[in-house]
Amino acid sequence: MNNVDQIITTYLPKMPDASVAQRDISLLIAAALERSLSWVKAFSDQALSQQQVISICEHLERRIKGEPVAYILGEWEFYSLPFKVTPDTLIPRPETELLVERVLAIIADLDQPSVLDLGCGSGAIAVAIKQQRPDALVSAVEYSEAALLVAKANAERNKTDINFLQGSWFEPVNTGERFDVIVSNPPYVAQDDPHLSQGDLLFEPRTALTAGDNEFSDISIICHQAPSFLSPHGVLLIEHGYSQKQKVQQLFAENGLLRVITHQDYSRVDRFTEGWLA
């Protein structure tokens, strides 16, 4: 193997996810060569040095073993913004962009809206909202110190000023503080879900994926405490699993939230629920 075409021919059948294999290989080759995707395509027949081939193969071998492309690259795009990602954070998903879009729609007519992102991870949701609405007062809570460092780095990278707090859910938030919108993508995967041992989930932080014995435990905490931190007519939005709509809507209603509705993602799968404070 001494050019990109030959490397692709060799490694394409070995990629773990055939549906995105071509994309993954191109991204990893571009990163290894420190070139653009357009360069990789235009000069795929150009001879490479031995060191370049070695570097590319090292990247591709990691992917063959299942490691997510985002972790190999050390970054991923979300809402057209670059985000640093590490094994301490979840990889931002396209579906979560819909959550951001809904928040932006809710606060569209508000002057200096206040937004709280609970369990911010890499900071993707908070940073995307602040980048689109520089006037918004955005706070973000994260329990993991390592993840919080990543989130702060992403806020700085994307030139967004966010109030970061370390702690569990509402614990570090001032008691008298109120928010127009509270948004969260909490752990909600059942701990015995077989998907946890497959694909990217196998490499992502388990505590960010599953709440333990009760998959609704973190969602329950957020639903119970959120009304005390919402402004009048404030809104709570929580991302959840495809089969959890009924239980999540029940938790919203039990805690006094009205106009409860569940939104679907690009695949028309139930993805996040919103509820309004009277």
Residues tagged in the binding site annotation for S-adenosyl-L-methionine:
119-123, 142, 169, 185
Point out the annotated binding site for substrate. Answer: 185-188
Question: Helix 124-132 to helix 94-106 angle, to the nearest 10 degrees?
Answer: 40
Residues contacting residue 207 through CB under 8 Å, at least 6 positions apart: 144, 187
Contact 196, 209 (CB under 8 A): yes
Per-residue buried b or exposed e for 55-72, using 16+ beta carbons within 10 Å of the residue's own CB = bbbebbeebeeebbbbbb
Q: What are phi and psi of 81, to 5 degrees?
A: -120, 145
Residues contacting residue 229 through CB under 8 Å, at least 6 positions apart: 116, 170, 173, 177, 178, 179, 182
Measured CA to CA, the distance from residue 231 to residue 251 in angstroms comes to: 19
Map residue 214 onto helix, strand or coil. coil
Point out the annotated binding site. Answer: 119-123, 142, 169, 185-188
| CB atoms near residue 38 (< 10 Å) | 9
Contact 130, 138 (CB under 8 A): yes
Q: What are phi and psi of 148, to 5 degrees?
A: -65, -35
